[in-house]
Structures are given as structure tokens and as C-alpha cells.
Structure 1
Amino acid sequence: MAQASSPERRGGRPTQAEAAALHQRLREAAVKTFLENGYDATTMVAIADAAGITKPTLYARYADKRAVFLDVIPWAFSRAVQVDTLDAAQDEDLRTALVAVGQGALRQALDPDIVALHKIARNEAHRFPEFGLSAESLGWASRQQQVMQLLARHAETGALAVDDIELAAEHFLAMVEVLPARLADFGLYRSRKEEQRRLLHAVDLFLHGVLVR
């Protein structure tokens, strides 16, 4: 979540591109500040300073710290999936594609920033009923859509026997991602070799259940 370095524009109305770049820089800075300081210790001044903008510029976009948190934490979860392009998931071989998706899911689940985001979202959920349950599911939902599209594409060829694509995608992600993510919440990590072994086993077990035989 690197912070951009472009300076704040002085005078005049910003262009659409400048406004979008400023919004992204602000979000990145806010996420970084929340992760470093926690919610209570983070201030609007700290967020503005981290983004390289003035307080009036920040307040023009957000009414208060609560509004910033509500915007940037779900955005950070969804962005983690969006930037993971997973070109290999387009592979015509279903096993190769599922392994690629699984590797992407593990990269996200075990990323230190994502683990920290999960922690802060859980810790502050009581203050934010708006996304207390949904913040952690945003990345999951995006990944599930990837798997659903992949399975649907192969089901159209008659290669799969799946009655409920959505449920199958959910079970696949539960097999490959949920336990490593929960272990990471407690600071427990398997070796890369062991995670890969377990991922391949999960993919093969899943395919055994969905492929037409």
C-alpha cells in the first residue's frame, strides 16, 4: 500500500484525473495510518499529514474520522483482490486455473496488511454496524465471483457436474483459504512448501467432486 508522492494541487478546480489520484492517495494514507496507530490513536490531522494534504481538503471529502474509516477499510479489502490479476486463472486447464486462484487467495489471506486489516475491522466492528459483518467478506465476495465465473465457463462445456455454482465456489474457497487465514490471525504460518502441498490436495479433492466421470 505504497503512498503516492504527487503534491496537492494549488489553486483552481482539479481535473477528474487529479481528483481520482488524490482520493486514492488519501485512502492509501488513511489505511496506513489506521494500521500503524489503531482507530483510537488516529486523528484527521495524522491522516491529512500522511496523505500530504491540508485538513480542509480532507474535511471537504469526509465529515470525520468515522467516515474515513467506513470508506477506506472495505476499499482496502476489495482492492486486495482487484490488484491480484491472476492471469493464469484464464488457463483452459481447470486444475491449473484453480491452483492459480487458490494461490491468489492465499497471497491475500496471508498478507500482513490484510491480516492487520482483519484485526482492526473485528476490533472496531462494534462501532461500525454498517460493515462489521461485511468488511471481511468483501475480498471473499470478489474471489468467489472469480471462481463462479471459472466454474461456469467449464460447466458450459459439459466438463463439470455442478448443480449450484455459487455454493461450489464457496466450498472451494473454504477449503483453500479459511484455515490458513484463521491461523494467520493468531500469528501462525505454515511454510510455503506446506501451503502449496495442502492447496494442491484441496484442488484435487474439489475436482474429484465436480468433474464429470
Structure 2
Amino acid sequence: MVTNATLARGRLGRQSPDERRENILAVAAEAFALEGYGITSMSTIAARLGGSKATLYKYFASKEELFQAVMQRKCEAVIGPLEELADSSTDPASLLTAFGKIFLSRLCQPDAIVIHRTVLAEAERFPEVARTFFAFGPEAAYSVLVPALARFDAAGLIDCPDPRLAAEHFLGMVRGDIHLRVSSGLIPPPDDAEIERQVSHAVGIFVRGISRRGSAA
């Protein structure tokens, strides 16, 4: 269904190139969410925009490139705050708590759940969808957390010889069953209290596991 918001965004003629690109990304994200990656075509997106495919191709050479840009745009809103945390934190437990809260909260928001469902539904037929998701989703989070864990290990604050594996385990603990239940439609997104409970429990177990003997990291 074409929404009023989509129709309002579809006036490309009076927009600057940057505004036009943002408009394309917003409309494409809506199309991928409503119709799925496989069914959505460049023609579909152009029609939603109220312009031509020629205009669309000036900005994105293919549907795969457009989907990558949509994913990158959505993930940048999460990765930016995580990078600031990782760069400024000097305490492993504080970093992991703040990191985990942002990660789980964003992961369970409706637009992120739609992306996750799209990936699961389309990955077998369109492996580029899975590759894009992992590049701009999990791998982007690991690229922030792994260097921070390595820095803490080098400083003697934790015992973490394999920061990458540790990061995978930590984020897996933070997700727990909550993300699976939300993405399956069994429960609504968790509130702040539930996120606090889930993340605090994961951090408590994880920090005890990576603490140097005799340390209270």
C-alpha cells in the first residue's frame, strides 16, 4: 500500500541532490519492508517516488546497491553512539552495559525487526541480502566492540585473548531469547526495565568470566 507519507516524499523535482538521495533511501526502505527484497524492483521504487527509473539509476546502479545503502543508513544511527562509547570509556563493565542497552534496544525496534524478518525470508534465494545484513549489522557492531576489548586486555583490565570471539559471545548473551521472541511476534519489544534486566545479567556473567584473577573489572 502506498502511504500518504510516501506520496508526500515522491516530489523529486524541487529537491537538492542530497535531499533526493535521502528521499530515495526512505522510500526504498518502506518498499523493502512492505513487499520484501525479492518482489521489490527498481521500477516499483521509481513508481513510489513519482519519478523515472533513469533518475533512480543516477543514484544507485542496482537494487543490491540500493539495499546496501538502506542498510548502511539504518545501521549508522546505531553504530555512531556505540563508537563514541567505545572511544571514551575506560571501564569495561560500564562500556558493556551502555553498549548492550543501545544494541538490544535498537535490535528490537520495529524497523530492525522488519529487516531481520526480511533477511530470514530472502537470504536463501538472495544471498546478497544476508551478506549486506551481516556487513552493516553484526560486523559493524563487532568492529566497534572488538578493539575496545583488545584495548582493555592490553591495559591489563581484563583477560581476553580472543576479543572477536568474546564480542560474539557477549552480544549473543545480550540478545538472549528476547530478540527471537520479538522477531517471531510472540512478545512486544522490551521496555527499558526489561532491557536493563537482560543487559545487567549478561554483563555480570561476562565480566566475571573475563576478569583477571583478583580483579574487579
Q: Distance in 1 between matches of 2:10 and 2:147?
A: 37
Q: Which residue of 1 aligns with 2:151?
A: 153
Asked if residue 177 in structure 1 is aligned to residue 188 in structure 2, the reply is no
Q: Which residue of 1 aligns with 2:54?
A: 56
Gapped regions of structure 2 (runs ≥ 5): none
Q: Distance in 2 between matches of 1:166 and 1:212?
A: 18
Structure 1 residue 204 displacement after superposition: 1.2
- TM-score w.r.t. structure 2 length? 0.77
Asked if residue 81 in structure 1 is aligned to residue 65 in structure 2, the reply is no
Q: Percent identity?
A: 28
Gapped regions of structure 1 (runs ≥ 5): 11-17
User: After superposition, where does 1:19-58 map in structure 2 within 5 Å?
Assistant: 19-39=17-37, 42-51=40-49, 53-58=51-56
**Cα deviations by residue, 1:93-135 (Å, 9 ceiling, x for unpaired):** 2211111111121122101111111112222223313x24323
Number of residue-to-residue matches in the alignment: 201
Comparing 111-120 and 74-83, the one that deviates more: 74-83
Q: Distance in 1 between matches of 2:133 and 2:42?
A: 24
> Which letter maps to 2:193?
K
Asked if residue 162 in structure 1 is aligned to residue 143 in structure 2, the reply is no
Q: Distance in 1 between matches of 2:178 and 2:69?
A: 22
Q: Is the 8 A contact 1:88 1:96 kept in 2?
A: no
> Which letter maps to 1:135?
T
> Which letter maps to 1:207?
V
Q: Which residue of 1 aligns with 2:197?
A: 197
Structure 1 residue 9 displacement after superposition: 5.7
Q: Which residue of 1 aligns with 2:133?
A: 136
> Which letter maps to 2:131?
S
> Which letter maps to 1:115?
I
- TM-score w.r.t. structure 1 length? 0.79
Q: Which residue of 2 aligns with 1:15?
A: none
